């Protein structure tokens, strides 16, 4: 499943990327500075949007080796220096306070243990540093949320563990990260979060 998911991911996302997601990526990624950790970087879809002059160090951690191969190619195509690690967000192989910013896009829906992932993000981020996320989440609309609940068991099997109905904002608040931005799109199905550690 990991290989199949990696091979179709960019193609499946293509129409949404063109229509809208690429613009959101540019908006949130182009302003990032300093030492940055990107979690679950997948095929490197965010890489074209980093402002090279502002980035002192860019580190990527991703468990899927097939995604990592594509991300390496994308970094090279974009002339971007990236330090790649194969691993899981639940157990980050980095020191406390190593990064200015930790970013993840469309990842928290798929991790096995969101509480542990937020704890790890907080740990590796400097005091006063930022956690930046763009995620699809459980919507506040009761009828849509019921549909998300219904679809999630099959969706998880098709999309490498992805939950349509995960309340990522709640996990983020419960972790003690201070929420400083929460911008909702499409009835709150997609949300941009920014938190301060």
Ligand X SMILES: C[S@@+](CC[C@H](N)C(=O)[O-])C[C@H]1O[C@@H](n2cnc3c(N)ncnc32)[C@H](O)[C@@H]1O
Q: Based on the shown chain and the rule CB under 6 A, indicate whether residue 3 belongs to the binding site for ligand X.
A: no
Identified binder of ligand X from the candidate list 28, 45, 145, 172, rule CB under 6 A: 45
Smallest gap from residue 173 Cβ to ligand X (A): 20
Q: Based on the shown chain and the rule CB under 6 A, indicate whether residue 189 belongs to the binding site for ligand X.
A: no
Q: Based on the shown chain and the rule CB under 6 A, indicate whether residue 41 belongs to the binding site for ligand X.
A: yes
Q: Interface residues for ligand X in 51-80 (CB under 6 A)?
A: 62-64, 67
Q: Based on the shown chain and the rule CB under 6 A, indicate whether residue 101 belongs to the binding site for ligand X.
A: no
Q: Interface residues for ligand X in 107-146 (CB under 6 A)?
A: 107, 110-112
Identified binder of ligand X from the candidate list 106, 124, 125, 189, rule CB under 6 A: 106
Residues 6+ apart with CB under 8 A from 25: 45, 46, 49, 105, 134
Smallest gap from residue 129 Cβ to ligand X (A): 19
Contacts by residues 50-54 (CB-CB < 8 Å, ≥ 24 positions apart): 50/80, 52/79, 52/80
Phi, psi of 90 (to 5 degrees): -70, -15
Q: Which residue is nearest to ligand X (CB)?
A: 42
Q: Based on the shown chain and the rule CB under 6 A, indicate whether residue 42 belongs to the binding site for ligand X.
A: yes
- Walk across the sheet containing 55-62 and list its strands: 83-86, 55-62, 34-39, 99-105, 125-136, 190-196, 178-185
Contacts by residues 50-57 (CB-CB < 8 Å, ≥ 24 positions apart): 50/80, 52/79, 52/80, 57/83
Spell out where the chain has E strands.
34-39, 55-62, 83-86, 99-105, 125-136, 178-185, 190-196
Q: Interface residues for ligand X in 81-100 (CB under 6 A)?
A: 88-90
As a whole number of angstroms, the distance between CA 132 and CA 155 comes to 25
Smallest gap from residue 162 Cβ to ligand X (A): 6
- With CB under 6 A as the rule, give the number of residues binding ligand X: 18
Smallest gap from residue 179 Cβ to ligand X (A): 21
Which parts of this chain interact with ligand X (CB under 6 A)?
39-42, 45, 62-64, 67, 88-90, 105-107, 110-112
């Amino acid at each position: 499943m990991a290989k199949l998911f990696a091979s179709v991911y960019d193609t499946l996302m293509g129409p949404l990327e063109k229509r809208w997601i690429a613009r959101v990526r540019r908006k949130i990624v182009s302003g990032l500075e300093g030492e940055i950790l990107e979690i679950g970087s997948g095929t490197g879809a965010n890489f074209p949007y980093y402002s090279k002059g502002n980035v002192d160090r860019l580190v990527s951690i991703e468990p899927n080796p097939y995604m990592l191969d594509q991300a390496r190619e994308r970094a090279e195509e974009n002339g971007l220096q990236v330090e790649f690690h194969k691993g899981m967000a639940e157990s980050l192989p980095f020191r406390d306070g190593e990064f200015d910013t930790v970013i993840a896009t469309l990842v928290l829906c798929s991790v096995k243990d969101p509480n542990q992932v937020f704890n790890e993000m907080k740990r590796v981020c400097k005091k006063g540093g930022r956690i930046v996320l763009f995620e699809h989440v459980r919507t506040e609309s009761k009828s849509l949320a019921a549909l998300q609940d219904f679809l999630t068991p099959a969706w998880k099997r098709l999309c490498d563990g992805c939950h349509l109905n995960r309340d990522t904002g709640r996990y983020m608040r419960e972790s003690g990260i201070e929420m400083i931005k929460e911008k909702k799109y499409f009835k709150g199905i997609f949300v941009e979060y920014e938190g301060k550690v």
